[in-house]
Structure 1
């Protein structure tokens, strides 16, 4: 692994992706398998002026034992101190920001009781909702990135020895995250500017609905929520700091109206859910709700996802990603949503982002739902873009515009 690139990656993520401000506390979540990268991020955080950088280590092997052997009732019970340990930093007058470093084995929990996993996950999400509102509403800067832990690297490159697989995945990540340019800050500045221009054009069109079509059977019409706003590339937190929530990111995304989604959509990449793979899936919507679904592998897991709560079978996001994105051009199937969602157009089952509604960060969930934004304990991105995807939009004045042709931006 190129140590110069590793520090460039960490510096970019912390100083530009998160954009740590002086005196803020930086909260970092990192797998125990990746201490060197965590140390590089801590160094960058203090260089950026952080008051304190706190690393919270995560161990998926330990978590698998806990999920397999722990009683469900106990796994679903949470101590108030756990939530307070996050909120105390968010409520600090100097503020906080967060960095989540992912490196999970896509099948870390394969073979475990899918229903139990889903219920435990739902209990945690519900318990932590007041903290999650800080990121869902961009009240703080936040960023999600990924690094190649051995289990993940072997899944992506199964024919390589473990050490070589890790090296290969590092190399690909450096490429698709524009680190191997040698100047990721400049490369990302150019990328963000292009993405913002497309975002602004979509907003200028004042779209009422969009239609996605592919030869694989996808024919989906998505009406947009009231006062919907397209977003992409970078966001702005309450304190005015610009940040990049996902590295990498290639998407421009918006809020569907929870009741105005109709048609069928077919997944174009496997989806990792609760440490297990769902492959060859499809769903059919009627008036916003999934009325039929199936999958070639783990179809029952897809059913668990869609019944997490009463709104998990509706969508909260539609995102456009060109087939020419660096992630897709790499030819690598990452088995990791952060990367794979930026290789293809996608939708998200569950909650929408309040920031996709004009003025939405200041509205209550009830007010947002009145505008059509979906509310749920989950937000699960699934990939639907194909090389021949065609997307058309209908403006509120009735004019039709072409957005995608053959998987690429048409403007």
Structure 2
């Protein structure tokens, strides 16, 4: 009888890359290419984790929540071994079946039908903002547009009080820094976090939310028995971080892309129906959310490599979104590209809960600008904002040439 010997598991390439370093944030693309080309699964010695940077493996991990769980944390820290820094998210840091029930509530509160209802108000605010910016001529596209517009519509839709809204962006920044390792970015965000956390905790309570807003709608599900009174504030909290950062960084990315690639701006000016896709392609191209972690629930074969139970897997969403195995000419920003399937908002059951709001805001804002602005010119030094998970700018001085 012939004896078959099992084929040896291919050895995992070990890479000396720190994806949470300032050098990496400044120019991630050469390192992302090195990660993709080294193999389907690599090991990062700096943080002692397995990592995937090719589209196929990133997509596979995102779409197998039973094997690659979220309940042990979607950052580097493992909730099975250390205490979370805040009560875990019922959406981001939960697995089925618990996740299925709470996610269904948020999906109804932010349904396509609801987006239809708020669209006119969001569009009118975008038109007013576009008029204001064209009149100004030169301004900072991050503070005056990418941050200012979402902050002018989303907190109202959520039902937040006027006072204290300046805590919203620092809180979102804190949450995404906390997914990273215990580096300087995470430590300093934690040290400054107390007032932001206190504000958010208070704002998520039923009595502080205006009737008719998303927040009140979530709390109303307590009365129908769909969620408990303890779960409702945590679900409102999920919206607070998910509904702003995606839009702010996505809009900033879109303006940055359209300023650098004037032929794409001309294309959008000649066909305003491309506004939604111009935003979508910016999310693929810049990937505002760069990384997320999962933890293996069992020994598993991934990309031909055996990975043990209880291992952290770091997914490079930004690298997957520029994988030449998946995209033609991935390093080109092309607003006519078929962008469906990009993982800029994640994929599978944990896809970004605020994505419909982000897409609506991105579309109406770019559409309003396309009707009024002949050219976008970068008018000064561009500064990056450093965050362990998010890729975005701190400052983008631009000049709008009126149409």
Into which bin does the TM-score normalised by the smaller protein fall?
Answer: under 0.3
TM-score (norm 1): 0.27
Whose relative contact order is higher, 1 or 2, with alpha carbons under 8 Å and at least 6 apart? 2
Normalized per residue, the structure richer in helix is 2
TM-score (norm 2): 0.28
